Amino acid sequence: MAQCAQSVQEFIQDSFVPMVSVLCSEDAERVTRKNNLSFPELLRPFCRLTSEGHLRDPNNQVVVVKGLRISVTGVNTRSPNSGEVRKLLSQAVSGCQPPEGLPANVITAGDYDLNISATTPWFEAYRENFLQSMPASDHEFLNHYLACMLVVSSREAVPTEQFLKLSQEQHRIQHSGEYTYPKWFIPNTLKYYVLLHDISDGDEQRADSVYEDMKQRYGTQGCYLLKINSRTGAAGPDEQMPDPWSQYLQKTNIHSPVSQFTSSIQARVLPAIHPLKLEQSADPGFPGNPSKAVNSADTARTQKQGSVTPGAAPTAHGACLTLNDHDRIRQFIQEFTFRGLLPHIEKNIRQLNDQLVSRKGLSRSLFSATKKWFGGGKVPEKSIAELKNTAGLLYPPEAPELQIRKMADLCFLVQHYELAYSCYHTAKKDFLSDQAMLYAAGSLEMAAVSAFLQSGAPRPYPAHYMETAIQTYRDVCKNMVLAERCALLSAEVLKSQAKYSDAATLLIKMTSEDSDLRSALLLEQAAHCFINMRSPMVRKFAFHMILSGHRYSKAGQKRHALRCYCQAMQVYKGKGWTLAEDHINFTIGRQSFTLRQPENAVAAFRHILINDSKQTATQQSAFLREYLYVYKSLSQPSNEGSLPQLPLPCVHSAQTRVFFGHEPRLAEGEKQAATHVWLDQEFDQEQAQLWAELEEQVVAVANRGSVHISFQPTQYCLSSHTENLRYPFAVVEEPMFVEVVFRNPLKVPLVLSDLSLLWKFTTKDFSKPQGALNDIISTEVIPEFTVGLEETKVARLKLLPHKTGELHVLGIVYNLGTREEDNSASEGITQKLLMFVRGRQDLEIQGPRLNVTKEEKTSVRHGPDRRLDPIITPPMPLLEVFFINFPTGLLCGEIRKAWVEFVNVSAVPLAGLRVASTHPEFFTFGSATADLTPVTPTAAEHCSAYKTMVTPPSDAAVTLVSPAAFGITGDNRPTVVEIPLTGGVLGPGEALQIPLWLRGPDREGVHEISFLFYYEGLEKNAKLGHRVLRHKAVICASRSLSVRATACRSNTLPGRGKRDEREEERSGSMLVFVDVENINTSEAGVREFHIVQVSSSSRQWRLHKYIRENKMQKIHLASRERGKLCFRATRCRTQEGETDSCTKFCQLTIVSSTTPCADFFFRRGPPSERQSLTPANSTDDSMTSIVRKCSEVELDIIVLWKAYVVEDNKQLILEGQLHVALQTIGKEACSLSQKEEAQEMVLLKFKPDLPPPASRPSLEQLSHLIKTCLHYPESYDHPFPQKSLCMVPVTLTLSNCSLAQVDVIIDLRHKTTSPESLEVHGSFTWLGQTQYKLQLRPQEVHGLSLKACFFQAGVYNLGTPRVFAKLAQSGTMCETSQQSAMPALIIINSV
Amino acid sequence: MEICKVFFHLSVSVILSPLQNYPLYIRSVPSQSELKFHYTVHTSLDVVEEKISTAGKAMAEQRELYLGLLYPTEDYKVYGYVTNSKVKFVIVVDSSNTSLRDNEIRSMFRKLHNSFTDVMCNPFYNPGDPIQSRAMFTMVSGLKSDKCGWLV
């Protein structure tokens, strides 16, 4: 139970007060009416006595009466009926609301901090009104009239006559039996004669004389002259008069016969109006003005609650009364009580006591014995059934049992509780023995109360009396009103004794179905009991609060219901009891809504929807609908910016992505637009890195090698992965897209309509007048966007800025609705319209967490994220790139011609167009020297990509080409290619179409090739220095041919032949074997490959001759076939530039020295591989290099092929080229570099690599120093019969391949160790010197004449000489055996 | 209440976390009036705490885990059980079901406790999360059907 303003004692005393009736003459009534008050009302504020009264009890002991209050009412007021009481109580409760802004006390219980108002004034108001509205009953006398005031005005012609009349009237009312009401305590009621004198109006002397007369007649103690209305004029507004009536007057409602009440709603809405306004016209005491009475009751109550009303201004009450008059009234009451009432009561108590004592002589026991003996009497024999229903039992008014009760009540009223208790106790015994249960219960109740009130507490409070009383009232007598009164008293007493648990049980027991208001109030008090216990029971408190709130709402007390739920919410909030929490929130929402607090309602509903709800789908949809309805009824602000926040759907702000630029175009026929960047692409760290590197490269080239220190790669798509510390740039008149991620947590689909972005724009130039919003930025609106149940979905919202300035995207605005599952279409539409509400949600993106300084590490700080705050810059050029005839699949090495179109779609000229790529070997725009014949792509469609010319099939043609002509300078590959524009500028709207050759990658598989087109505007100081366009091409390369080539040293030395040939051969020649294999696996597609031409490129070598059997044999390779080509290469003298020679196999010669063949040749391969040999050795000791040089070739072979492909029943001819780089003699080179695969396997090494061991020329290399060759006649005829010895001259030619002096030792002695050579029959011997030592100068060719001697005819191998060589400088090194010459067979014929 | 008559014994069983008293597992066999059970169980915590605080001090070690009948309401009986680590178990049964004796309730709690221990032993269970164990589900369903067979 909550704390009360009154103490228990005060409360109980005030509940039972002596009742005094008033009978007023008409004139007297008129006098009081001047003050807008009836006579009882006039007295009411002064009814509490401030001084102590005294009286003597039957034992002549003085009883002190403290703080007595009397109740003065008109004699004709009747108790209201139950319905009225109900309404009245309901108003009293609803009119009493907790004051707002009052600091509620905080109770801490366990983990809970609860904010609960400690007092419950509405409960006290209810209790007060309830007790006062108790009808007087027969079984108790407490609220029977003890006395009657007869009031007569002094203006009356004959006041004494009037007094007589009134006296008779009173007598008639009491004794005639016509009236059941009012009830009178004692037959001879005290009559008190009051002469009312109006000072302003009457003759004071006359009044005094009349009073004198009265004194004579009624005695000084039985009459009084009350002078009032001393104020003559109306009270001036400046004069402040206390108005003691205002706070009492609503109580008159209880006793005034109020016929009808206005609807309670009016009363509830009213408190907003100034309370005093109504009071002026209010006349609550008067039955004629009922509706006003209600309102004033309301307002008066609020006044009492502490709403400050300074100077109760020109109120109608007591207008004619001065403070003196107040004092006079007070004096009058005191006089009446002490002189009239108390002596009267004292007398009666004595009288009753005497009666009882006298009767005691007969003895109670005897009396009851006779009753038993004779039966009958006043207590009839009762059946058991009747016994139970003893409520009907009535004692006659003069029954001795009732006399005891009467005496007890009198004693109680004058606060003589000791005597009262003993009397009640006696009465109780009597009643119980008579089975008069109602009477017994009443006595029990009062006995308990008086026992409690006894000062000094001689006996403990008999709680069981109360319990029995309540039970009897309720169960036996079916009198809930009395039971309730009893319970209220008992609970208050228990509370004062800190027996909260008992009080709570008592209160909860009293709740029942018949009265919601009472149940609600009692449950609330019970809840307060739980929280006030020594160990507070928070959850019980909360639960009972909810029960109470439920009952309040049933009783129509919405405000109280809401308060209860809100208090209970504090306990349930955030504890995981989701169902309960949702239920409370839902109820709070509903109640708030009906109380027109839509903000609170929205907040409560919002809470249900935000949390992950565990409710069922239907429940959720109900919640949602309710929320939408409530929200809709909330007055809608017109301004978009001030729209309230919507809770649904959830927006994942951090996942918001922003894209600057146009939506990508789809391919138009053959035209294929550059892929660029779009929101569909997932963020890929590697890709981003790759693009950034490419951009850095191209920027470096554009800025002549330097990259600005603050270089940042252009980002078109900003997401949580990108760094968003800087304000991004957007270009005016170019759209930007914001991708927002929505999640619907509900099991109900949500429909968002009119979804658009909310932004703020700060313009740069303030001079220009601001146009409409759409002139600044056009905002795209998505008409409808559905998020399914528990779905996550993205919405792309577009903005198109028209002005330069700073843009801030704040959030999104939309209509939230739900899809109604309606069968009828038309109804569905109307429903849908109803269910939409407009609101916004902000996009607040938190930047990444900072973690640099110590301060940042220890605290949680986030950096800024400026994704949504772009700066709109002036127009920039915008490039669009289209590819025409761009293939998706190519054979390895295939050459395809495509076209590329550059279009400047902006209104600003474009310059500095460049392209960078990850695979520069993949494409070429042709060399600068190549004549760019502007052929339309259609015309060139079926032509060969190569440039051809008809020539007679000659063996070789030599052209000199310099790589510089193809844009290759130095060793690095050109990753950045500048695209020539006419005049260097691509004007607005202009398009440029240029051919583009593509070459299939050497490795099979899918290749992603990235192109980065770079361009800039003409303005140099623009914020955006440059722009880029990205394109990613995917090429599927399938296998074509595999080319392997080996070179070996030719052994032929200059001999016969033409002179020039000999010259060439002198400097060395080589055999090149080219193995070509068709490794294409798709037999259906590619029918066969033709080798069209083989070209070579080298600084020192050229392909000289194609060695073949049949001059015009073509090389056709079907699937899985293999062919071998053999060439002779000769050293050429031209050292400048690269030579290009070709050998062709058909009539047409492909000019391999021009675009595209040469382009691709120069762009071929990863450069690292090619450069590894040459430069490294230059720093080595000369010897090694010399040794190496001699076995080194630098010959690139280009194999040009044609493939016959069947595609869609059409035969196509595809062309291509493959490159093989020959580097070392004898080492096989392949068109497919095998190295890359190996690279993938390389382990990470953290130790620095050991320096490569001092490069010593390997044995193998050293064995190539000297080339040997034997010259001899192939067959020799010798007449053996004549001459047994055959001498054949043989020349051994030694050729020094190296560029250093070489010491050579030639050993002719037979030292064949291998058994094989033994078998070769025929031993022959060399004649003459068998060991030579020579020194050969660089590149010297030395012939050594030898003589071989044969003994018989046969075939002999002359290749026995062994040659050892060593470099002349390196003394230490021993000679190395040179590669043995091939078997040199000679046939000796015997003639 | 019609539904309660059909499944009349085990109405709801709840496991509550030790300190904050938020529910780890709620299972209500007739799922219709779940809200009411939430309120009932939540309120019963007051009684549980009271019982712990009164009994706990005297013999903290050999405290009986089973708290017995917490309180009867008009329709239900609420039983409580607290582990040594202050995990609370609450079982609410229909009060019309007179056949359930103290011993049976006790064994039901013991089964519940065992099952809960199993859940806690699961390395993938994050203590404090709502329990979503299938084993637990079948066990609680078993409690119910067990009694069913018993009664019939």
What is the pLDDT confidence band of residue A1158, given thresholds at 50, 70 and 90? low
Out of B20, B42, B50, whose CB is closest to A580? Answer: B42
Confidence check: pLDDT of A1238 > 60? no
Q: Cα–Cα distance between B122 and A72 in angstroms, integer?
A: 78
Q: What is the mean predicted confidence (pLDDT) over B32-54?
A: 78
| More confidently predicted of A664 and A457 | A664
Q: What is the mean predicted confidence (pLDDT) over A1257-1286?
A: 76
Best mutation target among B16, B31, B43 (most A Cβ atoms within 10 Å) is B43
- pLDDT, tens only, A930-948: 444 444 444 444 455 666 5
- pLDDT, tens only, A832-870: 445 677 788 888 888 777 888 888 788 888 888 888 888
Please indicate whether, in this complex, the C-beta atoms of A546 and B49 are within 8 angstroms of each other. no
Confidence check: pLDDT of A739 > 70? yes
Q: Are A213 and A198 in contact (CB under 8 A)?
A: no
pLDDT at A404: 82
Confidence check: pLDDT of A803 > 60? yes
Please indicate whether, in this complex, the C-beta atoms of A579 and B22 are within 8 angstroms of each other. no
Q: What is the mean predicted confidence (pLDDT) over A1093-1119?
A: 69
pLDDT at A297: 35
Q: What is the mean predicted confidence (pLDDT) over A336-343?
A: 84
Distance from CA of B46 to the nearest CA of A (A): 5
Please indicate whether, in this complex, the C-beta atoms of B42 and A543 are within 8 angstroms of each other. yes
Distance from CA of B134 to the nearest CA of A (A): 18
pLDDT at A858: 82
Please indicate whether, in this complex, the C-beta atoms of A539 and B46 are within 8 angstroms of each other. yes
Confidence check: pLDDT of B7 > 60? no
- pLDDT, tens only, A186-199: 777 888 888 888 87
Confidence check: pLDDT of A1059 > 70? no
Out of B23, B34, B46, whose CB is closest to A538? Answer: B46
- pLDDT, tens only, B53-100: 776 555 555 667 788 788 777 777 888 888 887 788 888 887 777 777
* Residue entry with tokens 């935000």: A610
Q: What is the mean predicted confidence (pLDDT) over A1259-1272?
A: 72
C-alpha distance from residue A731 to each of A296, A777, A804, A871 (Å): 69, 12, 8, 8
pLDDT at A621: 79
C-alpha distance from residue A538 to each of A74, A529, B43, B49 (Å): 48, 10, 8, 11
pLDDT at A1112: 54
What is the pLDDT confidence band of residue B17, given thresholds at 50, 70 and 90? low
Distance from CA of A475 to the nearest CA of B (A): 19
Pick the most confident of A535-544, A1290-1299, B44-53: A535-544
What is the pLDDT confidence band of residue A302, given thresholds at 50, 70 and 90? very low
Q: What is the mean predicted confidence (pLDDT) over A963-982?
A: 62
- B-chain residues near A542 (CB < 8 A): 42-43
**Residue A425 structure tokens:** 């106790």
3-class DSSP assignment, residue A587: helix
What is the pLDDT confidence band of residue A289, given thresholds at 50, 70 and 90? very low
pLDDT at A389: 44
Please indicate whether, in this complex, the C-beta atoms of A540 and B46 are within 8 angstroms of each other. yes
pLDDT at A977: 76
- A-chain residues near B20 (CB < 8 A): 111, 575-576
Quick one: what percent of chain B has pLDDT higher than 90? 0
| Count, residues in chain B | 152
Q: Which residue of A has its CA nearest to B26?
A: A577
Q: Please provide the DSSP assignment of A334-374 as one string.
A: HHIIIIIIHHHHHHHHHHHHHHHHHHHHH-HHHHHHHHHHH
Out of B22, B35, B39, whose CB is closest to A543? Answer: B39
Please indicate whether, in this complex, the C-beta atoms of A535 and B45 are within 8 angstroms of each other. no
What is the pLDDT confidence band of residue A486, given thresholds at 50, 70 and 90? confident
pLDDT at A640: 54
Quick one: what percent of chain A has pLDDT higher than 90? 0
- B-chain residues near A546 (CB < 8 A): 39
pLDDT at A1166: 46
What is the pLDDT confidence band of residue A322, given thresholds at 50, 70 and 90? confident
What is the Cα A1144 distance to its own chain's centre? Answer: 71
Confidence check: pLDDT of A84 > 80? no
| More confidently predicted of A541 and A389 | A541
- A-chain residues near B22 (CB < 8 A): 575-577
Q: Cα–Cα distance between A192 and A179 in angstroms, integer?
A: 21
Residue A764 CB-density burial (10 A; 0-12 exposed, 13-18 middle, 19+ buried): middle
What is the Cα A1188 distance to its own chain's centre? Answer: 70
Out of A111, A576, A583, whose CB is closest to B35? Answer: A583
Please indicate whether, in this complex, the C-beta atoms of A576 and B34 are within 8 angstroms of each other. no
Confidence check: pLDDT of A469 > 80? yes
> CB within 8 A of B102, min separation 6: which ones?
B68, B69
- pLDDT, tens only, A406-423: 888 888 888 888 888 888
Confidence check: pLDDT of A927 > 70? no
pLDDT at A1108: 61
pLDDT at A78: 66
Q: Which ranges of A533-658 would DSSP assign to H, the alpha helix?
A: 538-554, 558-572, 578-594, 598-610, 617-633
Q: Please provide the DSSP assignment of A879-902 as one string.
A: EEEEEES--SEEETTEEEEEEEEE
Q: What is the mean predicted confidence (pLDDT) over A434-453?
A: 83
Please indicate whether, in this complex, the C-beta atoms of A535 and B53 are within 8 angstroms of each other. yes
Please indicate whether, in this complex, the C-beta atoms of B42 and A572 are within 8 angstroms of each other. yes
| More confidently predicted of A768 and A327 | A327
Q: Cα–Cα distance between A510 and A474 in angstroms, integer?
A: 9
What is the pLDDT confidence band of residue A309, given thresholds at 50, 70 and 90? very low
- pLDDT, tens only, A139-166: 778 878 888 888 888 877 787 888 888 8
Q: What is the mean predicted confidence (pLDDT) over A1314-1323?
A: 53
- pLDDT, tens only, A881-922: 888 878 888 888 888 888 888 888 888 888 888 888 887 778
- pLDDT, tens only, A555-589: 888 888 888 888 888 888 777 777 788 888 888 88
C-alpha distance from residue A1311 to each of A1307, A1362, A1365 (Å): 9, 9, 18
What is the pLDDT confidence band of residue A298, given thresholds at 50, 70 and 90? very low
pLDDT at B4: 26
Q: What is the mean predicted confidence (pLDDT) over A1373-1378?
A: 63
Pick the most confident of A331-340, A374-383, A831-840, A1163-1172: A331-340
Distance from CA of B86 to the nearest CA of A (A): 15
> CB within 8 A of A942, min separation 6: which ones?
none
Q: What is the mean predicted confidence (pLDDT) over A1066-1072?
A: 68
Q: What is the mean predicted confidence (pLDDT) over A1110-1119?
A: 67
- B-chain residues near A579 (CB < 8 A): 34-35, 38
Q: Cα–Cα distance between A1144 and A355 in angstroms, integer?
A: 156
- A-chain residues near B49 (CB < 8 A): 110, 535
Q: What is the mean predicted confidence (pLDDT) over B106-135?
A: 82
Pick the most confident of A53-67, A91-105, A255-269, A632-646: A53-67
Q: Cα–Cα distance between A341 and A495 in angstroms, integer?
A: 34
Q: What is the mean predicted confidence (pLDDT) over A796-820?
A: 81
What is the pLDDT confidence band of residue A432, given thresholds at 50, 70 and 90? confident
pLDDT at A146: 83
Confidence check: pLDDT of A176 > 70? yes
Best mutation target among B16, B28, B34, B42 (most A Cβ atoms within 10 Å) is B42
Confidence check: pLDDT of A281 > 70? no
Q: Which of A298-307, A859-868, A1194-1203, A1214-1223 has the lowest mean pLDDT?
A: A298-307
pLDDT at A279: 33
Q: Where are the beta strands (DSSP E) in A71-175?
A: 71-74, 105-109, 112-116, 145-153
Mean pLDDT (chain A, rounded): 72
pLDDT at A1210: 77
Q: Cα–Cα distance between A807 and A778 in angstroms, integer?
A: 12
Q: Cα–Cα distance between A439 and A445 in angstroms, integer?
A: 10
Distance from CA of B22 to the nearest CA of A (A): 5
Confidence check: pLDDT of A1142 > 80? no
Best mutation target among B38, B48, B86, B92 (most A Cβ atoms within 10 Å) is B38
pLDDT at A1176: 39
Q: What is the mean predicted confidence (pLDDT) over A489-495?
A: 86
Confidence check: pLDDT of A1002 > 60? yes
Out of A111, A535, A579, whose CB is closest to B35? Answer: A579
Q: Cα–Cα distance between A901 and A925 in angstroms, integer?
A: 12
- B-chain residues near A572 (CB < 8 A): 42
Q: What is the mean predicted confidence (pLDDT) over A3-15?
A: 77
pLDDT at A1372: 53
Out of A535, A540, A575, whose CB is closest to B21? Answer: A575
Confidence check: pLDDT of A369 > 70? no
Using beta carbons and an 8 Å cutoff, which residues of B are at the interface with A?
20-23, 34-35, 38-39, 42-46, 49-50, 53
pLDDT at A495: 84
- B-chain residues near A583 (CB < 8 A): 35
Distance from CA of A535 to the nearest CA of B (A): 8
What is the pLDDT confidence band of residue A1370, given thresholds at 50, 70 and 90? low
Q: What is the mean predicted confidence (pLDDT) over A1339-1362?
A: 80
Please indicate whether, in this complex, the C-beta atoms of B21 and A546 are within 8 angstroms of each other. no
